[in-house]
Structure 1
Amino acid sequence: MAAAAAAKKVLVVYAHQSPGSFNAAVKDAAVEVLTAQGCTVEVSDLYVMKFKAAATAEDITGEVKDPEHFRYAEETKLAWEEGKLSADIKEEHRKLTEADLVIFQFPMYWFTVPAILKGWIDRVLTLGFAYTQEKRYSQGIFKDKKTMLSFTTGSQESMFSADGINGDMNVTLWPLQNGILHYCGFQVLAPQIFWAPSHVPSEARSSMLEAWRARLQGLLGEAPLSFTPSDSFDGDKGFQLKPEVQEQHAGKEFGPTVGTHLGLRIPPNSQIKAGV
């Protein structure tokens, strides 16, 4: 595996305030194991960087095109084309352009990412640079890159089940993994979920870290999660599944995906494990 990983570049986008946290230990393990395999690993430590979360006109150097009716996506696309984005965004663009694999490391806040990481997503995944109307989903700009979510929860696994009080984790992950990562074309690897590490004994946390280290040994060779290809949807009819694709699922127990389920049962674990 080391030979296959040599020369690969990895970006870890890390969002936790404390260097003594379990998230920090997970991040450090990723850096250590992947570096040992020959990867070049770069970390964007968002809190240390004091990364600005709010997407504003300050992200553009010089004058904007239409200050009276400011539209962030359109203005930053123009600024990206003209080299007028702020320095912090340009630096993250550099890291992202060079990366073969992007790992997002964070504690889950309110069923999603922390605000500082959402700010990174809002500001760095710029229109034009990360996606266009023509280049998205399976035809997306980053289709040659892999990515994954690695995060801790405050609730135990049973609470995020199909019959748990928090609801199915597959549903929780769909907007993040399909609506952000796959939307930009990324090959999305199965997430690494650390269930409620603050509520388990230290031995259990050690076991979690060892399992993560073991997975990292073969991470770059993993198959990504499955999403419905873009050409399965009819752009002339509101990007709905083509009739022939819908027919393929007629009579089946499960729908194609968590989001596009055709009124059928949601496929189990399709956002958590590859090949299901």
Structure 2
Amino acid sequence: MKALVVSATPEPQSFVASMARTSCEVLERKGYEVATSNLYQMNWNPVASADDFGRRANPNYLTYALEQRNGVQTQTIAQDIQQELDKLMAADLLVLNFPIYWFSTPAILKGWIDRVLVSGTAYGGKRIYDKGGLTGKKALVGAALGGRPHMFAPDGIHGPVHDMLRHLLRGTLGYCGMGVPQPFFAWHVPYITPEARDEMMADYIAHLESVEDLPLMEFPHMADFSETMEPIRKQ
């Protein structure tokens, strides 16, 4: 089994950085061969642009997704993208460790998603959800935030945290076909005691150790939809 741990935090002493190191340690103990992508350490370029393609299918107008397909097929996609794509495609498990910024991922991680989850490989056309290009892989989110759990309860001020990250959990990971175990959230991290952080890390370790058995989030099944993506009404 192989895993890819992608971390996106600007502070190497942060709780998220510790989560990423812990992800590698626990998975290695479990027998995984672990690859890593520390995006800040790599100085990862998050900007999707025409520079990502050495030979364009259409040099006059940039349709990024179509150029991704052409770049992979012709082996002219940017080298940094190809290296990350190779790691992703080799992995059985993807782990994303990041602090939540503005109810979302940091820009550098969004840029990794934009550039590496290439059209034609990770998804495309009707190759989505349970027919997606990354079907058979799992993706675990381990994120940290400043809020408290009650703030993200169904009747909390922000609403459920899963709704907040729907664009990532469903619209990206599930959309590409990956099984998505219940994510792990480290709450109120900047404001709690070191002892409380230790307890939270112990909870994260337990979460990682049971990653194969965690329940998966529910996403659409393509068999329930027509050729035009309309729901099939069952009698």
| 1:65 and 2:57 matched | yes
Match of 2:70 among 40, 54, 78: 78
- Taking the aligned partners of 1:234 and 1:21, their CA distance within structure 2 comes to 47
| 1:127 and 2:119 matched | yes
- Equivalent AA in structure 2 for residue 118 of structure 1: K
TM-superposed deviation, 1:218: 1.9
Match of 1:172 among 161, 164, 174: 164
TM-superposed deviation, 1:134: 2.6
- Taking the aligned partners of 2:154 and 2:135, their CA distance within structure 1 comes to 31
Residues 218-257 of structure 1 aligned to structure 2 (within 5 Å): 218-236=210-228, 239-244=229-234
8 Å Cα contact 2:184/2:207 also seen in 1 = no
- Equivalent AA in structure 2 for residue 128 of structure 1: G
- Equivalent AA in structure 2 for residue 170 of structure 1: H
- Identity, in percent, stands at 35
Structure 2 residue aligned with 1:42:
35
Q: C-alpha deviations, 1:42-75, integer Å up to 9, x for none?
A: 11000010110010011112x4232332111111
8 Å Cα contact 2:56/2:70 also seen in 1 = no
The secondary structure found in structure 2 opposite 1:51 is coil
Structure 2 residue aligned with 1:270:
none
TM-superposed deviation, 1:219: 1.3
TM-score by length of 2: 0.96
TM-superposed deviation, 1:79: 1.0
Match of 2:46 among 53, 75, 84: 53
TM-score by length of 1: 0.82
- The structure showing larger relative contact order (alpha-carbon pairs under 8 Å, at least 6 residues apart) is 2
- Taking the aligned partners of 1:225 and 1:167, their CA distance within structure 2 comes to 18
The secondary structure found in structure 1 opposite 2:156 is coil
Q: C-alpha deviations, 1:111-166, integer Å up to 9, x for none?
A: 01000000000000111111110311111111110111110012111111222222
Instruction: Compare 214-223 and 199-208 and name the one that shifted more.
Output: 214-223
TM-superposed deviation, 1:211: 0.9
The secondary structure found in structure 1 opposite 2:212 is helix
TM-superposed deviation, 1:228: 2.6
| 1:140 and 2:122 matched | no
TM-superposed deviation, 1:95: 0.3
- Taking the aligned partners of 1:240 and 1:158, their CA distance within structure 2 comes to 37
TM-superposed deviation, 1:27: 1.0
Structure 2 residue aligned with 1:183:
175
The secondary structure found in structure 2 opposite 1:241 is coil
Query: What's the C-alpha RMSD, in Å, of the aligned pairs?
Result: 1.3
**Could you list the runs of 5+ residues in structure 2 that have no partner in the other structure?**
none
Structure (1 or 2) with the larger CA radius of gyration: 1
| 1:211 and 2:207 matched | no
8 Å Cα contact 2:93/2:139 also seen in 1 = yes
Instruction: Compare 43-52 and 33-42 and name the one that shifted more.
Output: 33-42
Structure 2 residue aligned with 1:94:
86
The secondary structure found in structure 2 opposite 1:74 is helix
Structure 1 residue aligned with 2:186:
194
The secondary structure found in structure 2 opposite 1:43 is strand
